[in-house]
Structure 1
């Protein structure tokens, strides 16, 4: 009987010891995540809209969790104050011109506070400092903008379809031009006349060059053109020599 009691007490002691160790490990893990065992500093920032940010939200810097949000408080109708704590050893990397913004884990995940990198030459933040912020972009605003864009695209597509229908049916100036054979033939004749006129003009210019009354004028133009070309070549050679 005494042997059984002794065995029971040993098992009970082992169970209680394991339970205490498990509890201590949980406290240690949670404390590490919540920075309960490390020295930290307090910072403050302000937003017009907290955009779902809550107490306990993660604070990140360069993609790394460095602290948490301690308090979110409405100051007035256009300002929300956010108090946060970060690890003391991180403060040297956060500059006084760093800015806070509200992000999220993924597209629709939990909200978190993101601190941007400041100017490396700026001073590091100190306990109790207030840092500036970027206002968050609301999903509702993005969806409203996308809706307007979609509506505009729908209107443009509808009007383009109507225009193509009119063209296919021969309505309107463009439709008549595309479907009226007589108009197409007239346009073809006009283009042919333009080609003939251009060819005739070139022939007249060539004949004028050989006319003894205008020969001197054209020769003068050729000499001026040749001199300009030689001058350009000389300037290019001078630049090459100087280099």
Structure 2
């Protein structure tokens, strides 16, 4: 009987011992997650919309967890203040021009606060200071933009379909050109007349140049053109010589 009691007490003591170890293990695990056993500083940022953030959510920098959200409070009708605790040994990497933004872990994960890298010349942040922020893009805004784009695409598609139908039915100028052979022939005749007119104009200009009364005028124009070309060549040669003199100096 006494042996049974002794075995029972041993089992009970072992069970209690394991339970205590398990209890302290859970406390240690939670403490690590909440940064209870590390030195921390408190900094803050603000948003117009906290977008699902809540106390206890993670703070990340360069993809690494460095702290947690401590408190979220409404300052006024357009500002929400977010206070966070971050590890003291990471403050040297967070600069005064770093910015905070709201993201999420995965597609449907919890919201997290992400701190961007600042410039190398900026000073590190200190306890109690405030970071500037990027306003989060709401899913509803994205869907509204997609809806507008979809509606515009639908309108454009309908208009293109209407234009193609009109062309196939021979309506409109382009449709008549494609369907009406007579109109196409008239267009060809018009282009041919333009070519002939251009050729005749060139012939008239040649005849005018050989005309006794106009010959002086055209020769004067040619001399002026030649003189301008010679002047441009002289200026180009002068620039080359100036450039050579500059290099020799």
TM-score grouping bracket, smaller chain normalisation: 0.7 to 0.9
Superposed CA RMSD: 2.9
Secondary structure, aligned partner of 1:173: helix
| Matched residue, 1:160 | 160
Structure 1 Cα separation of the partners of residues 11 and 212 of structure 2: 130
Quick one: structure 1 residues 188 and 12, their matched pair in 2 at CA, closer, same or farther if it must change by over 3 Å? same
| CA shift digits 1:77-111 (9 cap, x unpaired) | 33222110111122122222322111122444321
Quick one: structure 1 residues 9 and 231, their matched pair in 2 at CA, closer, same or farther if it must change by over 3 Å? farther
Structure 1 Cα separation of the partners of residues 16 and 230 of structure 2: 104
Secondary structure, aligned partner of 1:81: strand
Structure 2 Cα separation of the partners of residues 108 and 238 of structure 1: 73
| Matched residue, 2:247 | none
* TM-score between both structures, scaled by the size of structure 1: 0.85
- How many residues align? The count is 243
| CA shift digits 1:170-211 (9 cap, x unpaired) | 123332232111111111111110011011111221222222
Gaps of 5+ in 1: none
Quick one: structure 1 residues 184 and 12, their matched pair in 2 at CA, closer, same or farther if it must change by over 3 Å? same
Secondary structure, aligned partner of 1:69: strand
| Matched residue, 1:41 | 41
Quick one: structure 1 residues 15 and 221, their matched pair in 2 at CA, closer, same or farther if it must change by over 3 Å? farther
Secondary structure, aligned partner of 1:114: strand
| CA shift digits 1:21-49 (9 cap, x unpaired) | 66655544543343222211101122121
Structure 2 Cα separation of the partners of residues 206 and 219 of structure 1: 13
Structure 2 Cα separation of the partners of residues 153 and 171 of structure 1: 24
Quick one: structure 1 residues 5 and 191, their matched pair in 2 at CA, closer, same or farther if it must change by over 3 Å? same
| Matched residue, 1:144 | 144
| CA shift digits 1:121-180 (9 cap, x unpaired) | 333221111222221111101110110110011011101101110111012333223211
Structure 1 Cα separation of the partners of residues 162 and 27 of structure 2: 70
| Matched residue, 1:134 | 134
